[in-house]
Structure 1
Amino acid sequence: MGVRTRTETNPGAAGRAMPADQPGSVRNVVLVGHSGSGKTTLVEALALATGAVNRAGRVEDGGSLSDYDEIEHRQQRSVQLSLVPVAWGGIKINLLDTPGYADFVGELRAGLRAADAALFVVSAADGVDGATRMVWEECAAVGMPRALVITHLESARAGFEEMVQTCQAAFGGDDPDAVLPLYLPLRGTAGADGHSPVTGLIGLLSERVFDYASGERKETTPADELLPRIAEARNRLIEGIIAESEDETLMDRYLGGAEIDMKTLVEDLEKAVARGTFHPVLAAAPAAEGARHGLGTIELLELVTGGFPTPMEREVPAVTTPDGARRPPLTCDPDGPLAAEVVKTSSDPYVGRISLVRVFSGTLRPDETVHVSGHGLEDRGHEDHDVDERVGALSAPFGKQQRTLAQAIAGDLACVAKLNHAETGDTLSAKDQPLLMAPWEMPDPLLPVAIHAHSKADEDKLSQGLARLVAEDPTMRLEQNQDTHQVVLWCLGEAHRDVALERLRTRYGVQVDTIPHKVSLRETFGAAAAGRGRHVKQSGGHGQYAICEIRVEPLPGGSGIEFVDKVVGGAVPRQFIPSVEKGIRAQAARGVAAGYPLVDVRVTLLDGKAHSVDSSDAAFQTAGALALREAAADVPIHLLEPVAEVRVLVSDEYVGPVMSDLSGRRGRVMGTEQSGGGLTLIRAEVPEIEIGRYAIDLRSLSHGTGRFSRDYARHEPMPPQLAERVREQATAAA
């Protein structure tokens, strides 16, 4: 074998994952890669190789790994994080399959939080994309161990050696020898298309051939013509391993001609992989029809169980009490204080809410009461939590099947039923010792989607459906805009939006329609003006009588509405002056030209008249509103649009196109600065009406590598021609 397991258990013991009894017998591995790279296919191949499923992809109780979300079946791609636990060599391996599409990066981040190591799946047909490079850098920043798996070697465009070089350039940084293959593919006889299929692997350390041509892994001796190729790659691998060794004398011995024994090489390799300083490259392919072992699956399982770290080797996230008091660091100890985190929330039409939980410390048991601490995402419609709640049944998922667990120890993952308050990112701890974990970084949703109920029946269910939808997805933000009176879902992209609306319809029975998103425009006076409001009605009985005269002057931006009383001689009785102000402010909120709130003016009440019997609070409110409307009729009314401060982080090669695009959106580039790693930060001010779809357009401009954030800066006058178009639309809609 190329790599041996660190455990002393039988490496051939296989089957479905049993409950873990100690953290050292668990490996948590997240699969990362772009959409279509083959992550889900690889998970299914590993499940078949371990005996967790049969050759038809079924488990003994009838479930299937293909029983995923129906939306995934329709879209032909993963849209959510899924857990598949398998067993190999007495080790429970929790495989976390993540979506590869950028719109579901929240699911990817959750998988990274729950895992202790990452497998980067790279398609030999498609190469490495910018988004995968960015995730690699995130893992590097926290020291997460990583290995690479090259798939789709059956493609006519595929070349293993070329892809290794691509991976070294993308992931090796200053040290390409930190990314090296452990095995070389062995190709069979070329077919009619001239392409030679991969039928086996050559172990560089063991110098053995592992033949998969028959569908079962067979070990043989390499042919003589392969030996020069093996020797060259093997020497480079050994030098790469020795360079990462903690034994500083090893390189001198090797260069001096000493033979380094296999045990030392394997141990140093495993340590370097677990430290995250060496990144082995493997190849894999699904099993052929009727076969049990897919190419490279055994080698990959050996690497995971032998080279990837146990949960005990990972630092537990920092904890505090819910009120912010610091607590001593925790360790991965089943007997320690309970500290678990909800990494995913989903809903089942029969079971209800299901929470996927990573236990970092202590032991989680069914039917016990735990404390649920909130996650700090209140600005996205997720309320903070600080409540006690009873844990329902614990289970391990397999497709849509759930297998009951008696407990979940530190280092393991489990599904918890019926946690009605807990949401993604929440901490579960002992009720008498509540803890709160520092949350992981969530991407900010920047694509607004305005919706309204399709029918009256949908309107009755909309509020509850949206609440459940947002509870499942912390990357989504729900906004009830008080200015535009729109219900807005903020999403990460179009695919994210489509999945959210489909889940509303299929899971919660709520049909919604999307409508154009409105930005919060404002109105203001372009010059000073005077207005007279006269509200006089005599229709028998008690009448209405109120007259007021005002002057309106524009103020600097951000001043709001300022009301000044300059009435003399009691022309307007003192008790009715607040009524005039109330009427003016109410009319300002409704707008005076296109129906948008009026801001940044000073309204001065100068004079008026009252009647001893017929004047009233309501009459003077009406007179104040009429006076403001009359003043607005005599001067230009400017429309103000919100301007956002935008920060775009993009690869240096795309700076030019991005800056040009921002200028085309009426943006003002305020400056740029280098951010290291070949990235540039661009600062600009852009009207919000121009960046409604920027989350989509930036992704296209930067080939998926650009990120941006936005903050409200101020309101500014809209260009006259654009303002006139908005007024015409408002008039047509009235």
Structure 2
Amino acid sequence: MGEKTSTHPGAAGRAVTADRPGNIRNVVLVGHSGSGKTTLVEALALATGALNRAGRVEDGAAVSDYDEIEHRQQRSVQLSLVPVEWAGIKVNLLDTPGYADFVGELRAGLRAADAALFVVSAAEGVEGITGPTRMLWEECAAVGMPRAIVVTHLEAARADFEVMTEACRAAFGGDSSDSVLPLYLPHYGREGGDGHRPVTGLTGLLTRRVFDYSSGARTESDPGAEALPGIEEARNRLIEGIIAESEDETLMDRYLGGEEIDVKTLIEDLERAVARGSFHPVLAAAPAADGARQGLGTVELLELVTGGFPTPTERAVPDVTTPAGAARPALACDPDGPLAAEVIKTASDPYVGRISLVRVFSGTLRPDETVHVSGHGLEDRGHEAHDVDERLGALSSPFGKQQRQLAQAIAGDIACVAKLASAETGDTLSGRGDPLLMEPWLMPDPLLPVAIQAHSKADEDKLSQGLARLVAEDPTMRLEHNQHTRQVVLWCLGEAHRDVALERLRTRYGVQVDVVPHKVSLRETFGTRAAGRGRHVKQSGGHGQYAICEIEVEPLPGGSGIEFVDKVVGGAVPRQFIPSVEKGVRAQAAKGVAAGYPLVDVRVTLVDGKAHSVDSSDAAFQTAGALALREAAAEARIHLLEPVADIQVLVSDEYVGPVMSDLSGRRGRVVGTEQSGSGRTLVRAEVPEIEIGRYAVDLRSLSHGTGRFSRSYARHEPMPPQAAERIREQAENGA
């Protein structure tokens, strides 16, 4: 690592393949939007020969051409795979969106990868290392994922690699800041009048060699004498950091005793520490200059990835069970082992149909073989459980919009599978005779409701199928058909997530929808006792209609529903018509008696009535029962009940005050706080659901992206009179 000066010509025009898991590296790029992840992927593809100087693959498609929406919005909105080859190693680069709304795509990338590159922008300075980026670092740390840091945009004015390195040490180093150290120091050209200092090369700290990119080709030389003091200071710090993580307990004593540790030994210890996830090197990268194929730092980064990042065999395979839940022995990353692969992304191609991006953890995938598809099922999100056999289509390796055919995909590799009709993101592919189910990864909960309706009759006919395909591709989205409000609701992660979903409905599935105000499930109840008389008497030719009933209504505790009690004496209402009265009362209760919301938590007692020997009927007494309930409601005080949610907000300590103040402004009641790890507080509160429709968006803004919350239904309780009156006025005006 840092020793090689040769380059590998890459494999432009053909699929990149691997003959064994040890020759594969799966790397996910993580960083906030605008940090330069996609540009870095293109620079690495250019350095390996997978791209030409125009940034094009053979068919003329750019490596970043994945989704028309990404081009229109100028940001990544989905997980993308770019396979490249370096020194005989296949490197699967997983480019993830940096925007918080697409954290589901990022989680999928973390599942498929064995190591992570955190990309931070020097142009944004210390502020670029945001709270969400630190939270993702901690998430990777929790599962022991190896990580390295790449500082980009060094060509920007006032960009400073040393300042960014110190910021990374503070943000990511935790209790051991010497585990986050640079492997190279950039050297700069002459400063311009705008304060811009072009980065012309890198100095390898372990080798004391200068790698110069200023001529358009990477050249190697010795550093000047004036640079040696700064190099030695940084080098000693790096060596001490490497030795502190070494498995050789004698190495530190030898170093402190004045022994010059062999560079080869240091590099081997460094690579082992990186692969274990205990040391996190910082590197620099910049795009290739005009006429150059290799951007600054790309060779050094590829050497780190191929030499220091773990192979798939060094990472544990997720736990597996049978589809019925029975335990199974742990699997190893073995091409000859039982087949266990996972769909990490589902997409639709207008020509090929459904394409599944699959990480193979064990065994080997081959085209046209029959596999078993198992899925946990996320019924609350519109995803059914799967337990079927399916025949695989063609296997391919993606590159931009190209799909290059593969003969097989071995354990540790990632490939695209065509025409899996039922498989969705998160499903397991296994042997037909040995079905398996992999432990699912954590899916973020969508908490922004978006009520939609078809724009036209033609759209209405296609809406159901379009929505089904949309949620099949994106397990972070939840589809709800609310029977109380009669609305179709898409639950999303944020406004950008919503916009992309609606755009995909329109452009990919040909369905135009309108967004309408989201309704919460209100209820009505009686605030006082009341009585009502329902009289339905009509005379016309033939049989008439005759039914009279008298009822009393009284409120009940929350959650009681509707009770119907018969206290008729003397046969005033014949026994056969008493169920008819109850049916009419319950039908009217379902429609509401004040603002059109279901009536709950009352006891309705039938106390008297009248019937006619000829003209009374089931229908007449149903109508009379409904009329009696409406009359009782006209004489009583009717409360509107709103749903109240239990919410838990996890936020950095510095934002606890603003969060609690905001919750109070939403008519919320804070019921407790508690520490949740270092520097974070869990705030528990009860808040009316009508007040938190946009809380997923507002909390992100309030906490600078560091806050998370969960919600669950608690109960219905009376709305404040003023709010209830507004709802009634809207109902009367037909809003």
The TM tier, using the shorter chain, reads: over 0.9
CA distance in structure 2 between the aligned counterparts of 1:375 and 1:113, rounded to whole angstroms: 16
Q: What residue identity is the alignment partner of 2:255?
A: Y
Q: What residue identity is the alignment partner of 2:386?
A: H
CA distance in structure 1 between the aligned counterparts of 2:556 and 2:382, rounded to whole angstroms: 35
Answering whether residue 60 of structure 2 is matched by residue 62 of structure 1, we say yes
Aligned residues: 730
Contact 2:535–2:549, Cα closer than 8 Å, also in 1:
yes
| 1:192-240 deviation line (CA, Å, top 9, x unaligned) | 3232110000000011000011121111111111100110000000000
CA distance in structure 1 between the aligned counterparts of 2:577 and 2:375, rounded to whole angstroms: 48
1:170 offset after TM fit, Å? 0.3
What secondary structure, in the 3-state scheme, does the structure 2 residue paired with 1:309 have? Answer: coil
User: Match for residue 123 of structure 1?
Assistant: 121
1:4 offset after TM fit, Å? 6.3
User: Match for residue 103 of structure 1?
Assistant: 101
What secondary structure, in the 3-state scheme, does the structure 2 residue paired with 1:245 have? Answer: coil
Contact 1:584–1:625, Cα closer than 8 Å, also in 2:
yes
1:619 offset after TM fit, Å? 1.1
What secondary structure, in the 3-state scheme, does the structure 1 residue paired with 2:123 have? Answer: coil
Contact 2:16–2:397, Cα closer than 8 Å, also in 1:
no
Q: What residue identity is the alignment partner of 1:264?
A: T
Q: How does 1:705-724 map to 2 (within 5 A)?
A: 705-724=706-725
Give structure 2 stretches of 5+ with no counterpart: none
Q: How does 1:313-462 map to 2 (within 5 A)?
A: 313-462=314-463
Off by >4 Å, runs of 4+ in structure 1: none
Identity of aligned residues (%): 84
CA distance in structure 1 between the aligned counterparts of 2:273 and 2:495, rounded to whole angstroms: 41
Answering whether residue 35 of structure 2 is matched by residue 37 of structure 1, we say yes
Contact 1:698–1:706, Cα closer than 8 Å, also in 2:
yes
CA distance in structure 1 between the aligned counterparts of 2:2 and 2:206, rounded to whole angstroms: 5
Q: What residue identity is the alignment partner of 2:298?
A: T
Q: How does 1:140-179 map to 2 (within 5 A)?
A: 140-179=141-180
Answering whether residue 506 of structure 2 is matched by residue 505 of structure 1, we say yes
What secondary structure, in the 3-state scheme, does the structure 2 residue paired with 1:169 have? Answer: helix
CA distance in structure 1 between the aligned counterparts of 2:702 and 2:608, rounded to whole angstroms: 59
More divergent stretch after superposition (49-58 vs 570-579) = 570-579
Give structure 1 stretches of 5+ with no counterpart: none
User: Match for residue 15 of structure 1?
Assistant: 11
Q: What residue identity is the alignment partner of 1:197?
A: P
User: Match for residue 695 of structure 2?
Assistant: 694
Contact 1:4–1:306, Cα closer than 8 Å, also in 2:
no
Q: What residue identity is the alignment partner of 1:53?
A: L
Contact 1:374–1:386, Cα closer than 8 Å, also in 2:
yes
Q: What residue identity is the alignment partner of 1:449?
A: V
User: Match for residue 215 of structure 2?
Assistant: 214
Answering whether residue 684 of structure 2 is matched by residue 683 of structure 1, we say yes
What secondary structure, in the 3-state scheme, does the structure 2 residue paired with 1:125 have? Answer: helix
Q: What residue identity is the alignment partner of 1:282?
A: L
CA distance in structure 1 between the aligned counterparts of 2:615 and 2:313, rounded to whole angstroms: 82
1:579 offset after TM fit, Å? 1.2
Contact 2:38–2:64, Cα closer than 8 Å, also in 1:
no
CA distance in structure 2 between the aligned counterparts of 1:159 and 1:516, rounded to whole angstroms: 48
User: Match for residue 609 of structure 1?
Assistant: 610
User: Match for residue 2 of structure 1?
Assistant: 2
CA distance in structure 2 between the aligned counterparts of 1:591 and 1:12, rounded to whole angstroms: 74
What secondary structure, in the 3-state scheme, does the structure 1 residue paired with 2:355 have? Answer: strand
TM-score (norm 2): 0.98
Q: What residue identity is the alignment partner of 1:143?
A: G
Q: How does 1:518-557 map to 2 (within 5 A)?
A: 518-557=519-558
1:378 offset after TM fit, Å? 1.2
More divergent stretch after superposition (709-718 vs 542-551) = 542-551
CA distance in structure 2 between the aligned counterparts of 1:505 and 1:667, rounded to whole angstroms: 38
CA distance in structure 1 between the aligned counterparts of 2:35 and 2:394, rounded to whole angstroms: 35
CA distance in structure 1 between the aligned counterparts of 2:28 and 2:129, rounded to whole angstroms: 18
CA distance in structure 2 between the aligned counterparts of 1:193 and 1:180, rounded to whole angstroms: 29
1:47 offset after TM fit, Å? 0.2
Q: Is the alpha carbon distance of 1:79 and 1:3 closer, same or farther for their aligned partners in structure 2, counting shifts above 3 Å? A: farther
Contact 1:84–1:95, Cα closer than 8 Å, also in 2:
yes
What secondary structure, in the 3-state scheme, does the structure 2 residue paired with 1:673 have? Answer: strand
Q: Is the alpha carbon distance of 1:11 and 1:218 closer, same or farther for their aligned partners in structure 2, counting shifts above 3 Å? A: closer
Q: What residue identity is the alignment partner of 1:580?
A: V
CA distance in structure 2 between the aligned counterparts of 1:589 and 1:14, rounded to whole angstroms: 68
Q: Is the alpha carbon distance of 1:718 and 1:260 closer, same or farther for their aligned partners in structure 2, counting shifts above 3 Å? A: same
1:2 offset after TM fit, Å? 1.9
TM-score (norm 1): 0.98
User: Match for residue 600 of structure 1?
Assistant: 601
CA distance in structure 2 between the aligned counterparts of 1:41 and 1:607, rounded to whole angstroms: 80
CA distance in structure 2 between the aligned counterparts of 1:289 and 1:445, rounded to whole angstroms: 44
Answering whether residue 179 of structure 2 is matched by residue 183 of structure 1, we say no
What secondary structure, in the 3-state scheme, does the structure 2 residue paired with 1:177 have? Answer: helix
CA distance in structure 2 between the aligned counterparts of 1:3 and 1:327, rounded to whole angstroms: 44
| 1:132-181 deviation line (CA, Å, top 9, x unaligned) | 00000000000000000000111113111110010000000011100000
User: Match for residue 70 of structure 2?
Assistant: 72
CA distance in structure 1 between the aligned counterparts of 2:443 and 2:212, rounded to whole angstroms: 44
More divergent stretch after superposition (52-61 vs 225-234) = 52-61
What secondary structure, in the 3-state scheme, does the structure 1 residue paired with 2:676 have? Answer: strand
Q: What residue identity is the alignment partner of 1:92?
A: K
Contact 1:344–1:356, Cα closer than 8 Å, also in 2:
yes
Root mean square deviation of aligned Cα: 1.1
Contact 1:11–1:90, Cα closer than 8 Å, also in 2:
no
1:19 offset after TM fit, Å? 1.6
Contact 2:158–2:196, Cα closer than 8 Å, also in 1:
no
| 1:501-527 deviation line (CA, Å, top 9, x unaligned) | 000000001011101101000000010
User: Match for residue 623 of structure 2?
Assistant: 622
What secondary structure, in the 3-state scheme, does the structure 1 residue paired with 2:11 have? Answer: strand
CA distance in structure 2 between the aligned counterparts of 1:31 and 1:549, rounded to whole angstroms: 71
Q: What residue identity is the alignment partner of 2:661?
A: S
Q: What residue identity is the alignment partner of 2:442?
A: E
Contact 2:7–2:299, Cα closer than 8 Å, also in 1:
no
Contact 1:85–1:398, Cα closer than 8 Å, also in 2:
yes
1:612 offset after TM fit, Å? 2.0
CA distance in structure 1 between the aligned counterparts of 2:460 and 2:415, rounded to whole angstroms: 36
CA distance in structure 2 between the aligned counterparts of 1:701 and 1:150, rounded to whole angstroms: 28
| 1:232-251 deviation line (CA, Å, top 9, x unaligned) | 00000000000000011100
Answering whether residue 623 of structure 2 is matched by residue 661 of structure 1, we say no
CA distance in structure 1 between the aligned counterparts of 2:62 and 2:465, rounded to whole angstroms: 32
User: Match for residue 574 of structure 2?
Assistant: 573
Q: What residue identity is the alignment partner of 1:699?
A: R
